[in-house]
Amino acid sequence: MEASLIGFAALMVLILVRIPLGIAMGVVGVIGFALMQQIEYGNPRGWDSALNMIASTAFDTGLAYGLSVVPLFLLMGNLITESGMSKELYRAANAFLGHFKGGLALATVVSCGAFSAVCGSSMATAATMSKVAMPSMREFKYDDSLATGAIAAGGTLGILIPPSVILVIYGLMTETDIGQLFIAGLIPGLIGVILYMAAVACAVRLKPGIGPAGNRSSWKERLISMKGIWGINLIFIIVMGGIYAGIFTPTEAAGIGASGAFLIALFSGKLSFQMFNRSLSHAARTTAMLFFLVIGAVIFSNFINLTGMPMLLKDWVMEQGFSPFMVILILIGVYLLLGCVLESMSMILLTVPVFYPMVDAMGFDLVWFGILVVVVTEISLITPPVGMNVFVLRGVVPDVKLSTIFRGVTPFWLADIVRLVLIVTIPSLSLMLPHAVG
């Protein structure tokens, strides 16, 4: 246990001095693995074993069939983003909701939720929707805090509403069925959209001037706006419907989704060579970054498993007689604290290998725990001082202060806490659909 704690301390020091996370995890993992082999197990060739682990981990990760879903879903989201479908989503949501008080913020939340269903990335959702929604809200004199808060919070839905890259990573790390995780994320994701809309309604009720009503659209204009989102609806129905019906696996669904996004962009006349090249290069860069993180995380996990920390932690919790509910509350507290200093993927890669054996041993459903972890991670995306979605949004609208954005996300942060309480106390919200479809 002491060796693992020293390893975590060394890792945090490297992170604080701005060493990239993948490198930091890899360095600590290799050094710790080698020293454990030599000191604890008397292996004089400990360094050879550690160096061989680097090669085998990189090779196995690069050839992992399950991870092939990541670049395909990323490519699907990039093609949809580049083809301008996000603008059509916002236009349709605005046609139905824009005439209410705070209606443009409501439309932003709904369009973020819909865009998440074909994107899978929270930061991509926030960056894309900020370019679409922010000009409209400024045109109607929305307060910057409400406008940016709705975009930053709405973007967090990208890692929960399927397809979700983080759910894919969690499923591979815990050997949990990815299709079941996707199904389980639907209801919590919809609850998130509803609670975010309630947060907007409460904010404009307390301060009516921050979200004036927009123009009312006629039913003809609303029906016309629906025509622009047929592509996204079709992709979601085919991809998610195929997974839920058992017609194809998540990896096959990712390939079909990427192909469908390409064909829709092509036949709509929105596909250019430059746009296709940008989509491919962005998906490749993001995939390389994620694979680098995963390789580092696997190396670090090998070191942690060699120290026996997961099993020792499980045994200690059992000996202390903590109730299962108390353990979950402690883990939530740990995630909320880590969310103040780490971004979402780092939290998942660092903590899940340590925590999930204990959670599984205590009888919790790993699908439910995965949704719980992602929801807590969503909260970290808008929690100061890191709040990755806030910093992404700050990069798109540099004239808005960070303090203004953090103030704007406060109502949505409270809504997330309500959703977290619901998921913890009512597990069926996450498990109802997976159990229904088997």
Q: Per-residue pLDDT averaged across 252-272, rounded?
A: 84
For the cut 80, the answer to whether the pLDDT of residue 339 exceeds it is: no
Tens of pLDDT, residues 9-54: 898 888 888 888 889 889 999 998 898 888 777 777 778 888 888 8
pLDDT for 189 equals: 92
Collapsed DSSP state (helix, strand, coil) of residue 268: coil
pLDDT for 420 equals: 94
Torsion of CA 134, 129, 99, 191, to 10 degrees: -130
CA distance 248 to 243: 6
- Of all residues in the chain, what percent carry a pLDDT higher than 70? 99
For the cut 70, the answer to whether the pLDDT of residue 401 exceeds it is: yes
For the cut 90, the answer to whether the pLDDT of residue 196 exceeds it is: yes
CA distance 437 to 431: 10
Q: What's the chain's average pLDDT?
A: 86
For the cut 70, the answer to whether the pLDDT of residue 126 exceeds it is: yes
Collapsed DSSP state (helix, strand, coil) of residue 44: coil
> In this predicted model, which residue has the larger pLDDT, 270 or 104?
104
pLDDT for 184 equals: 92
For the cut 80, the answer to whether the pLDDT of residue 198 exceeds it is: yes
pLDDT for 276 equals: 87
**Furthest CA-CA distance within the chain:** 78
Q: Residue 201's pLDDT band (boundaries 50, 70, 90)?
A: very high
Tokens 């003809």 appear where?
220
* Cis amide bond preceding 250, omega within 30: no
For the cut 80, the answer to whether the pLDDT of residue 145 exceeds it is: yes
> In this predicted model, which residue has the larger pLDDT, 199 or 313?
199
Q: Distances from the Cα of 282 to the Cαs of 75, 277, 345, 346, in angstroms?
A: 8, 8, 18, 20
Q: Residue 438's pLDDT band (boundaries 50, 70, 90)?
A: low
For the cut 70, the answer to whether the pLDDT of residue 106 exceeds it is: yes
pLDDT for 422 equals: 95
Q: Residue 388's pLDDT band (boundaries 50, 70, 90)?
A: confident
Q: Per-residue pLDDT averaged across 358-377, rounded?
A: 91
Reported pTM:
0.85
Q: Per-residue pLDDT averaged across 60-87, rounded?
A: 82
For the cut 90, the answer to whether the pLDDT of residue 251 exceeds it is: no
Q: Per-residue pLDDT averaged across 226-250, rounded?
A: 82
Domain count, the chain: 1
User: Highest mean pLDDT: which of 194-203, 282-291, 429-438?
Assistant: 194-203
User: Highest mean pLDDT: which of 42-51, 135-144, 157-166, 312-321?
Assistant: 135-144
pLDDT for 193 equals: 93
pLDDT for 150 equals: 92
Q: Residue 166's pLDDT band (boundaries 50, 70, 90)?
A: confident
pLDDT for 1 equals: 67
CA distance 239 to 223: 25
| Among the listed residues 164, 92, 169, 99, the one whose alpha carbon sits nearest the alpha carbon of residue 125 | 164
Q: Residue 188's pLDDT band (boundaries 50, 70, 90)?
A: very high
pLDDT for 195 equals: 95
Is there a contact between 345 and 166 (Cβ–Cβ < 8 Å)? yes
Q: Which of 165-174, 199-208, 239-248, 277-286 has the lowest mean pLDDT?
A: 239-248
Tens of pLDDT, residues 287-327: 888 888 889 888 988 888 888 887 778 777 777 778 888 88
Q: Residue 136's pLDDT band (boundaries 50, 70, 90)?
A: confident
Q: By CB neighbour count within 10 A (0-12 exposed, 13-18 middle, 19+ buried), where does 325 fall?
A: exposed
Q: What is the span of the domain harbouring residue 22?
A: 2-437
